[in-house]
Amino acid sequence: MLQIGVPALGISLPGLLASDSQAVEAAGSSASRKSIIVFWTDGGLSQQDTYDLKPDAPAEYRGMYDPISTTAAGIQLGERLPQQARVMQHLSVVRSVHHDNGIHAPSAHWMLTGYFGPTLARNAAQKPSFGSVLSRSLGSRQPPMPAYITMPKSEAFGYQGAVYLGKAYNPFEVIADPNGDNFQVPNLSLPEGLAAQSVHSRRQLLKSFDTFRRDIDRSGGMEGLDTFKRQAMEMVAGGKMRAAFDLNAEDVKLRDRYGRHRYGQSALLARRLIEAGARCVNINTGNWDHHNDIQKGLDEHLPPLDRAVAALVEDLAARGMLEDVLVYCVGEFGRTPRMNGHAGRDHWADCFSVLLAGGGIVGGRAVGASEKNGGGVQDRLVTPLDLLATIYQQLGVPLDTHFLDGSGRPVSIVGSGKPIHELL
Amino acid sequence: MTACECERVDDPALTQALELVNSTEVHRKLTADNGFAKKLAANELDGSEIAAMIFPRVLGRPPRQEEITTVSEFLAAEPDRVEACRSLLWSLLATNEFLFNH
């Protein structure tokens, strides 16, 4: 009987002690209605085949795709993005994002946290991800829905976490693929035969037993763990969480419109989770590291991403939610303006593109410009911290917010970053 | 708990807490026909005797007075004795004390 393996909680006592003072602060006190859905294009999406075409450049720069017109005057997209072209009046592109690293891990750290960080994939994150900053600063809109959710799980070399903000602000991982036949979040459903009344009894009992032994916890370090257990039990006890994760509650036609693939169903689920109270939902959308035969990769992955982004933006607009929900499509960097000898493109952080929509962002704009054939920033350099400052401001996080790092030093959430005023 | 936390990059603790409080594996063992909960429930032991059996077994120590009181009151209030025993065992397995000591 007592061979039951209690799953390793992944929490060490020292880890908790280090973070307890911050982790116990009450979250969810913000009145902000705003939230964000992120499409993370892990590996690096090619800007010159999507959002920043160079139709007049020599063939090796131009690439495979022709430009197509959009509903925004003067803005063209690559021909594999017809759905986004159709809703371009809601979308804006920043074509002049720049940072100074060309390796996946440190670049992912840079784009997700705003700061340059580790130089090897195994190195621990040094700064919190923006999802965790939002979680800590604003909390969930409606507990017990977690504030910050990744699907199907966290990626990007572990840089989608909370680090010194405290483990309570790590993302909740959906784990399962929303496009799976019997999509279910592990451990969210009550085991068969377990009555909701028992869950309630056990919650009370557990609370009593834990309270009696506060003496073993003179430091207060158990508070963080209690938070997780309490939240987990609230998620299990009520029907609200299971209802939010139930994609079958959606109209079949709408599910089809999002696309019957991981990108589409993840985007639809993200909308449901935001409606039910999440603050930041991060969808990890496959891998875009197309060093070889980039056309094959993009022909396969652009259509589902295109459909998912466009359907989400349209759906949010139809529900009157677009003003409150920011949609952000971003990866760690772009890809080389000149094709390589393997019909692919390599890493490129000198000048690349990201997509934003909703949440008060003006649609139909293209901010910044790359050089004639791509390469460097020609106009209006935008840094990773500028992007984060834009997001924080739109979601209602004061830009003068600082958090103490592991050594007790206050670190700004935006550093030198300034909101991109052209988007507002 | 982990031997070397530095090996773990960043732990999604809520995901794991969910597994802890709602594990089908724990549920399966608690509801097993020949399980400890069923045996406990089948006898005529009172609350203090039940507490005296389960605390050493789960936590490796005797129960304290306030814990005996909680167990007794809980057993008296629950209509289903087997389910009550399951809930007692479940709760002890989910305590911070169990998680950090075992």
CB A71 within 8 A of CB A343: no
- The pLDDT score that the predictor gives to residue A160 is 95
Cβ–Cβ gap B21/A233 under 8 Å:
yes
How does pLDDT run across B53-99, given as a tens digit for each residue? 999 999 999 999 999 999 999 999 999 999 999 999 999 999 988 88
Euclidean distance between CA atoms A362 and A377, whole angstroms: 22
Q: Which residue has the higher pLDDT, A152 or A17?
A: A152
* pLDDT at A17 > cutoff 50: no
Write out pLDDT tens, residues A158-170.
Answer: 899 999 998 889 9
Residue type present at position B77:
A
C-alpha span between A302 and B49 (Å, rounded): 65
Q: How far is CA A321 from the centre of its chain?
A: 18
The reported pLDDT for the residue numbered A213 is 78
Judge whether A311 is closer than 8 Å to chain B, CB to CB.
no
Q: pLDDT at position A14, please?
A: 38
pLDDT score for A292: 97
Quote the CA–CA distance of B43 and B64 in Å, as a whole number.
Answer: 22
What local confidence, expressed as pLDDT, does residue A11 receive? 39
> How far is Cα A28 from Cα A276, in angstroms, rounded to an integer?
14
The set of residues, in sequence order, having a beta carbon less than 8 Å from that of A234 and lying 6+ positions away, is A143, A144
Percent of chain B scoring above 90 in pLDDT: 55
Note the pLDDT tens digit of each residue in A183-242. Answer: 999 889 888 778 888 888 998 999 999 888 776 655 555 666 777 888 898 898 878 999
Q: What is the mean pLDDT of residues A49-68?
A: 97
Across A204-213, B6-15, B26-35, B84-93, the highest mean pLDDT is recorded for B84-93
Is the pLDDT at A259 greater than 70? The verdict is: yes
Q: Is A76 helix (H, G, I), strand (E, B) or coil?
A: strand
Q: Which has the higher per-residue pLDDT, B96 or A295? A: A295
Which residues in chain B have Cβ-Cβ distances shorter than 8 Å to A23? none
Among A217-231, A301-315, B18-32, the range with the most confident prediction by mean pLDDT is A301-315
Distance in angstroms (rounded) separating the CA atoms of residues A325 and A319: 11
From residue A74, alpha-carbon distances to A55, A69, A88, A94, A186 in Å are 14, 8, 11, 14, 47
Q: Classify A301 as helix, strand or coil.
A: helix
DSSP type of residue B52? H
pLDDT reported for residue B47: 94
Give this complex's ipTM.
0.87
Which chain A residues are within 8 Å of B2, Cβ to Cβ? 8, 10, 12
pLDDT at A230: 86
Q: Which residue of A has its CA nearest to B24?
A: A191
Choose, out of B2, B14, B23, the residue to mutate when testing the contact with A (most A CBs < 10 Å). B14
pTM attached to this predicted model: 0.89
Q: How confident is residue A335, by pLDDT bands cut at 50, 70 and 90? A: very high
Q: How far is CA A111 from CA A167, A329, B15, in A?
A: 21, 12, 25
At residue A9, does pLDDT exceed 60? no
A371-374 long-range contacts, Cβ below 8 Å, gap at least 24?
A: A372/A54, A372/A57, A373/A54, A373/A57, A373/A58, A373/A61, A373/A337, A373/A338, A374/A47, A374/A48, A374/A52, A374/A54, A374/A57, A374/A61, A374/A337, A374/A338
Cβ neighbours of A122 (radius 10 Å): 11
Question: Does A424 score more than 50 pLDDT?
Answer: yes
Closest CA to A144 of A296, A307, A277: A277
Distance to chain A for B21, nearest Cα, Å = 6
- CA angle at residue A210 from B43 to A5, to 5 degrees? 65
Please give, rounded to a whole number of angstroms, the shortest distance from the CA of A216 to a CA of chain B. Answer: 8
